[in-house]
């Protein structure tokens, strides 16, 4: 596991198998129904091509986002506004100036109500708050993924408990 996890107690963990992208989508559709998601910070770990952005796309679509969902690699963050939910999709791959945390308003975003999803949280480890859930995606082959979820908060624990019985 990544160093970022070791610093924060794990209150609940789960492992899942996503044998194909349809399984990833089914997970996203189920998570989208969970009330605890509305205010959660989910940190997405995994190598390039693991499926972080793909999961976010399925999750945003399941939550009702229509239209194109861009990968925020260059912008660092893409915001989405739904009627009852604000969502921010971060990709910290190119984040290298901690001053940007204040200047770009990221601190304010993390203090706001809404769903925060972050790819490459390792690149902003010094400034990011503790994630409700650290979700690690590991590539097994072209379509199959092994997933570990670590909850660090009560909200994260609720999100993991909501999975029971929903996915194999
Ligand atoms: P990352 O954001 O982690 O770099 P992407 O989501 O951009 O990765 O790319 C993942 C690629 O893997 C996509 O082309 C997607 O269609 C493919 N893929 C194949 N199987 C799965 C799966 N089970 N879950 C997620 N993505 C999958
Ligand atoms: Mg990505």
Query: What pLDDT does residue 3 have?
Result: 47
Global confidence as pTM: 0.94
Query: What pLDDT does residue 91 have?
Result: 96
Higher pLDDT, 6 or 104: 104
Ligand 2 centroid to residue 44 C-alpha, Å? 9
Residue 129: pLDDT over 90: yes
**Residue 110 and residue 72: Cα distance in Å, rounded?**
17
In CATH, which of 2.40.30.20, 3.30.1360.120, 3.40.50.300, 3.40.50.1860 is domain 15-165? 3.40.50.300
Check: CB of residue 118 under 8 Å from CB of residue 128. Answer: yes
Q: Closest residue (by CA) to atom 19 of ligand 1?
A: 143
Ordered by start, the domain boundaries in the chain are 15-165
Query: What pLDDT does residue 1 have?
Result: 46
Pocket probe mutation, ligand 1, options 53, 54, 146, max atoms within 8 Å of Cβ? 54
Centroid of chain to Cα 1:
16
* Interior angle at CA 130, CA 128 and CA 131, nearest 5: 100
* Interior angle at CA 12, CA 80 and CA 14, nearest 5: 75
Could you tell me if the CB of 21 is within 6 A of ligand 1?
yes
- Give the lowest-confidence range in 48-52, 96-100, 122-126: 96-100
**Residue 56 and residue 54: Cα distance in Å, rounded?**
5
Could you tell me if the CB of 48 is within 6 A of ligand 1?
yes
Could you tell me if the CB of 146 is within 6 A of ligand 1?
no
Check: CB of residue 65 under 8 Å from CB of residue 89. Answer: no
């Amino acid at each position: 596991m990544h160093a970022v996890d070791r610093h924060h107690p794990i209150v609940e963990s789960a492992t899942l198998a996503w044998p194909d992208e349809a399984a990833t989508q089914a997970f996203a559709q189920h998570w989208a129904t969970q009330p605890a998601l509305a205010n959660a910070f989910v940190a997405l770990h995994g190598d390039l091509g693991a499926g972080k952005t793909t999961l976010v796309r399925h999750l945003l679509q399941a939550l009702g986002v229509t239209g194109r969902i861009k990968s925020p690699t260059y912008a660092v963050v893409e915001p989405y506004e739904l009627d009852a939910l604000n969502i921010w999709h971060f990709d910290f791959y190119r984040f290298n100036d901690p001053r940007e945390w204040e200047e770009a308003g990221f601190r304010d975003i993390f203090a706001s109500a809404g769903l925060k999803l972050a790819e490459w949280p390792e690149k902003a480890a010094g400034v990011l708050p503790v994630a409700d859930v650290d979700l690690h995606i590991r590539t097994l082959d072209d379509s199959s993924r092994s997933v570990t979820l670590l909850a660090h908060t009560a909200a994260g624990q609720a999100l993991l408990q909501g999975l029971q019985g929903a996915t194999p």
